[in-house]
Structure 1
Amino acid sequence: MYFPVAGIEVSPWLPPLVAFGISLFTSMGGISGGFLLLPFQVSCLGFDSPSVSATNHIFNIVAIPSGVYRYIREGRMVWPLTWAVIIGTVPGVLAGAVIRIKYLPDPTTFKRFAALVLLYIGIRLVTDIYRQKSSSGGKPGAGSAMRSDRVTEQRFTLKTISYSYHETNYQVCTAGIVAISLVVGIIGGVYGIGGGAIIAPLFVSYFGLPVYTIAGATLMGTMITSLAGVAFFQALAPLYPSMAIAPDWRLGILFGFGGFAGMYCGARLQRFVPARLIKAILAFAILFTVARYLGLL
C-alpha cells in the first residue's frame, strides 16, 4: 500500500503489527508507545518529514481511549490534575509544532533532538528498574487490597490541586503542574508525542504523587494534546506547500488500531510479566536507538 503523504510504500499489515508489539510492551511498563513508534517510522520506514510528528499524534488519538475509559470506570481519573495538564500541554504542543516546522525540518537535526528525548526516558526507565530492585516493586500489599482504589475528595483551585487516595491526601501546586506541562507540551509537540512518558516520572519523583493515580491524567492529557497537535499541523500545512506537514491519516489510523489492541492486551497480561523485565527490554531498545541517532553505533 502506498501512503502519498509519507511518501512510502508499506504492506498494510505492518503498521498495526508493529504498533501492537510496541504498545503491548510499553503499556505493561506503564508508558505510551508513541515515543518508540516514531523512531520506527523515521529509521525503518524512511518517513522523516515534519508530517511524521503529526502522524504519530494520530496513533495516540486512536490508541489511548481504551485506557482512558478504564481509568474513568475504575474511579482513578484525577480530573483536577487532568485539566491542569491539558491547560499546560495544549499551548505547549502548538509552540512545539511551529518549532518542528521552522527549526527542525532536517531529518539529521531532528534525530539528535529525538535522541535527547529518548535518552531522558531511557535513564528514567533504568532508574525505575534499580528503584524497584530495592523495594517491593510498588504493588499494593494485602492491607491496601482491602481499601478502595477510587480517588476521592478531588479539588481544583488556582493555587492547589488536591485529592485523596487510600486514605492519604495529596496536594500539589497548580502553577507548578501547569508550568511543567507547558515545557513537556513543547517537547511533545516537536517530537510527536503527547508527553505522558516524560511527565509521568516527574509527577511521581518531584511531586510525590502515586503512580496509580497519575496514569489516567497523563493518558487523557496525551490524547487531548495529540488532538490539538494534529489540528495545528493540519492548519499549518497550507502555509508550507513545499513541505509535508499534514499527517498521513491512513498510516496514523493503521498504527492506532494496532496500538489500541496492544494496549488492551498489555493491560490484561501485565500481572503475568515482571515489570522489571519489561522496563529492561524497553530501556535497551531506547538506549540502542539513542546510540544510533547520535552516531555512536
Structure 2
Amino acid sequence: MVFSVAQIEAAVWIPPVTAFVISFFTSMGGVSGAFLLLPFQVSVLGYTSPSVSATNQLFNIVAIPSGVWRYWKEGRMVWPLTWIVIFGTLPGVLIGAVVRVAWLPDPRHFKLFAAGVLLYIGGRLAWDLVKNRKRAAKEAAGPVGGGGAVRVVRFDVRRLEYSFQGEVFGAPFWGIFTLSFIVGIVGGIYGIGGGSIIAPFFVTFFRLPVYTIAGAALMGTFVTSVAGVAFYQAMAPFYPNISVAPDWMLGLLFGVGGMAGMYLGARCQRFVPADAIKWMLAVVMLFTAAQYVAGFLGF
C-alpha cells in the first residue's frame, strides 16, 4: 500500500501489528509507544519529513482511550495528577511543534535531538533502578492485589497527595506543572504528545509508583496529541514545500493496532512487577538512542 503523504510503501498489516506489539508493553509504564513508533517510521519505513511527528500524535489519539478506560475501570486514575499534566504539557507541545518544523526539519539533526532525549530519560531511569535496588525489590514483591485503587488525600496549589496500597505518595503542585511544561516542549518536537516521556520522570524524580502514574501520563498524551495534530494541520499551509500535516491513513492503521495493544497492556499491568516495567522502558530507550547516534555518525 502506498501512503502518499509519507511517500512510502508498506504492506497494510505492518503498521497495526507493529503498533500492537509496541503498545502492549509500553502502556504498562504509562507510555503510548509513540516514542518507539517514531524511530520505526524513520529508520525502517523511511518516513523522515516533519509530518511524521503529526502522524505519531494521530496514533496516540486513536490508541490511547482504550488504555485510559482500563486504568479508570480499575480505580488507578489519579485525576488531579492528570489535569496538572494536561495544563502543563499543552502549551509546551505547541511550542515544540513550531520548533520541529522551523528548526529541526533535517532528519539527521532530528535524530540527534531524539537520541539525546531518550538517552537522558533511559539513563536516568536505569541509574535510579541500580541506585535504589532495595526500594525496587520492595516494589517488585508482587503484583497489585486487593486495595489497588487510588484515593486522593490532598490536592491544592501547593501539593498533591494520594494513597495507594496503604502508603501515601505526593509531589509539589508547581514542580509537576513546571516539569510537564518542559516535557511538553520536548514531546511536541519529538511527536509523542509530552505525556509519554513524563512517566519516567514521575518515577525517577517524584518517586511515584508506576502503577498509579500510567493512566495520568496516557491521558495527558491523548489531550496534547489532539492539540498537536490540530496545530500541525493548521501550520501545513504556511510550509508548502515541507510535509507537515499527518498521514491520516498511516496514523489510523497504527492507531487501530495500538488500541488493542494498550487495552491488553493496561489489563495485564497489575500482574507485572514494577521494576520489570521500569527496566523494560530503560533498556528500550537506551537501545533506540544508541541506534540514532550510530545513524548520525554514519555507522
Q: TM-score normalized by structure 2? A: 0.88
Partner SS, residue 64 of structure 1? helix
- Where does residue 16 of structure 1 map in the other structure? 16
Asked whether 1:160 is paired with 2:169, we answer: no
Distance 1:206 1:53 in 2: 27
1:263/1:131 CA distance change after superposition, 3 Å: farther
Distance 1:218 1:44 in 2: 27
1:175/1:283 CA distance change after superposition, 3 Å: closer
1:150/1:36 CA distance change after superposition, 3 Å: same
> More displaced, 162-171 or 277-286?
277-286
Deviation, 1:201, is: 2.2
The alignment yields a C-alpha RMSD, in angstroms, of 2.6
Does the CA contact (< 8 Å) of 1:71 and 1:216 recur in 2? yes
1:272/1:205 CA distance change after superposition, 3 Å: closer
1:154/1:277 CA distance change after superposition, 3 Å: closer
Asked whether 1:108 is paired with 2:108, we answer: yes
- Where does residue 51 of structure 1 map in the other structure? 51
Percent identical among aligned pairs is 56
Asked whether 1:98 is paired with 2:98, we answer: yes
* Residue identity in the other structure for 1:291: V
1:155/1:239 CA distance change after superposition, 3 Å: farther
- Where does residue 139 of structure 2 map in the other structure? 138
Distance 1:118 1:276 in 2: 14
The structure 1 segments of at least 4 consecutive aligned residues displaced by more than 6 Å after TM superposition are none
**Structure 1: which 5+ runs fail to align?**
none
Does the CA contact (< 8 Å) of 1:79 and 1:154 recur in 2? no
* Residue identity in the other structure for 2:10: V
Asked whether 1:292 is paired with 2:291, we answer: no
Does the CA contact (< 8 Å) of 2:183 and 2:197 recur in 1? yes
- Where does residue 182 of structure 2 map in the other structure? 183
1:125/1:24 CA distance change after superposition, 3 Å: farther
Distance 2:203 2:111 in 1: 28
Does the CA contact (< 8 Å) of 1:119 and 1:290 recur in 2? no
* Residue identity in the other structure for 2:182: V
Does the CA contact (< 8 Å) of 2:53 and 2:189 recur in 1? yes
Distance 2:139 2:30 in 1: 12
1:64/1:48 CA distance change after superposition, 3 Å: same
- Where does residue 38 of structure 2 map in the other structure? 38
Deviation, 1:95, is: 0.2
Partner SS, residue 149 of structure 2? coil
